[in-house]
Structure 1
Amino acid sequence: MKKIIISLFTILALFSCKNEPQNLVKIQGKLLPVSEEITSKKEITDFIQPYKQKVESEMNTVLSFTEIDLVRTDGELESSLGNLMADLCFKRANPVFNSRTGKNIDFALFNYGGIRAGITKGDIKTENAFQLMPFENSLVVVELTADKIKELVNYLIAEQRAHPVSKQFNLKISKNGYDLNINNKPFDNSKTYYVLTSDYLQNGGDNMIFLKNPVNIENLDYKVRNAIIDFFKETDTVKVTLDGRFKTEK
């Protein structure tokens, strides 16, 4: 009888432990306002301080110098900052591309909206490079057909904005259409062109869909921001001009 009673209690215990499905009944939240009344914890502040000082020191490192304010709004279809960005990326990227492929980039193209801050007259610091390019975009080279280049030109004409293009690209809009020279030669319908841009734009960003599905693509594994920093490090004083690389003939 004792064994029967023990077995009965064991069976009842097993059934009582059966997992029942759990249902979410209610979610509660609490708003914690962040204000000056909240004091920092000394141990956390002390832990962070060395890293904070290191970052501030690196951001304040002087890399170069500019005698003028560099902005994206000082021209109609080109700008000092846009010309600088396109030209410096071309200069830094072409040796990398050439060493891998034995070929040269024809020109560089970026977007107006990708320029996130100007650079004021005076010292150029690491901080300026991060403000100019806060994104983790990388440089890529796409091989485009002549038809794709025509789409690119039509995009620039329709946009009427100072999208950064390098000095190898010379586009003049007239009443009768446009004239395009690349590397001081008239545009050739029978060849393909190697265009430097960012991975963001190559994927169709800013509606630059002509950069998608190229003949070939080469990812340079080189961030745009790093190219900017490297250029500033090797340049004592930045010189930029508005040279009419993209303009409307009056």
Structure 2
Amino acid sequence: MISCKNDTGQLSEVQGKQVKIDTSFKAVDSIISFVAPYRNRINEVLDSTLAYAPKSLLLDDGAHNTSLGNLIADIVLTETRPVFKSQTGKDLDFVVINRGGLRSIISSGNITARHAYEVMPFENYISVVKLNGSAVRELIGFLTSAERVHPIAGMQIVLDKKGALDSVNINGSPFDESRSYYVATSDYLVQGGAEIGFFKTVDSVANTDYLLRNAIIDHLRKVDTLKAIVDDRFIQQN
């Protein structure tokens, strides 16, 4: 019986050393040759032209909405609507995504899949949340008071001269607090990401299994020229 006893050892010490990576490390030709065709194929796919941007799309060219933010939010709305409809039979109402999730601008010129990875480097999926009217009201309040410009699509928010909420339209109709809305966003936010003010209360969540980055790439393949501007989807009256 003694020989079958399992003794639990106690960790007494951990040792480590810093390994400096410099020119003393030489590439291994056999590994380089093995990896080369895969690397070349990946670069070929990522660097092939999908669309063209006549002007740079930025994240700081508007007070309440930006050209790049509008582009990405519009893409999510356009590409997610048919997916959500086919999965649930429901209609998508609007889109809200977080400014912090967009990590690069799109410079003018040829646009490739690599640009999509630069703008959206995270493995975030598109989720659709069902919000009741009160929850949408809270979301609108968060958007109007946030210091950062968070992209929206399918919704128009108008502030008065003093910055107070003047009106909200969703899909061209006045916001109705007595009904519920379906909102597309990043699963990161639904799971309680950094911008916790987005979705405090949700009635339900539908996971589309659609990567946000893939939606961008799918859209780039369909268009010839990217056109996105600062518009009136979120403005303050003069």
Query: What TM-score do you get using the length of structure 1 for normalisation?
Result: 0.87
Change (3 A) 1:20 1:155: closer
Change (3 A) 1:97 1:67: same
- Contact 2:135–2:200 (CA<8 Å) still a contact in 1? no
SS in 1 for 2:21: coil
Which runs of 5 or more residues in structure 2 are unaligned? none
Change (3 A) 1:183 1:32: same
Of residues 140, 144, 155 in structure 2, which corresponds to 1:169?
155
In structure 1, what is the equivalent of residue 214 of structure 2?
Answer: 226
In structure 1, what is the equivalent of residue 58 of structure 2?
Answer: 71
In structure 2, what is the equivalent of residue 5 of structure 1?
Answer: none
Q: How does 1:229-240 map to 2 (within 5 A)?
A: 229-240=217-228
In structure 1, what is the equivalent of residue 199 of structure 2?
Answer: 211
Of residues 81, 89, 92 in structure 1, which corresponds to 2:68?
81
In structure 1, what is the equivalent of residue 136 of structure 2?
Answer: 149
Compare the two structures and name the one with the higher helix fraction.
1
Q: Please list the CA deviations of residues 92-144 of structure 1 after superposition, one character each: whole Å capped at 9, or x if unmatched.
A: 00001111222211110001111100111010011000001110100111110
Q: Please list the CA deviations of residues 14-62 of structure 1 after superposition, one character each: whole Å capped at 9, or x if unmatched.
A: x9xx998755454332322101221111122122111111111111111
Kindly indicate whether residue 92 of structure 2 is the aligned counterpart of residue 108 of structure 1: no
CA distance in 2, matches of 1:227, 1:146: 28
Cα RMSD after superposing both structures: 2.0
Matched residues, number = 234
Change (3 A) 1:249 1:96: same
CA distance in 2, matches of 1:152, 1:129: 27
- Contact 1:76–1:161 (CA<8 Å) still a contact in 2? no
The share of aligned pairs that are identical, in percent, is: 37
Whose radius of gyration is greater, 1 or 2? Answer: 1
Question: What amino acid maps onto 2:44 in structure 1?
Answer: S
Query: What TM-score do you get using the length of structure 2 for normalisation?
Result: 0.91
Which runs of 5 or more residues in structure 1 are unaligned? 1-14
Aligned structure 1 segments of 4 or more residues deviating by more than 6 angstroms: 18-21
CA distance in 1, matches of 2:228, 2:6: 73
SS in 2 for 1:207: coil
Question: What amino acid maps onto 1:191 in structure 2?
Answer: R
In structure 2, what is the equivalent of residue 92 of structure 1?
Answer: 79
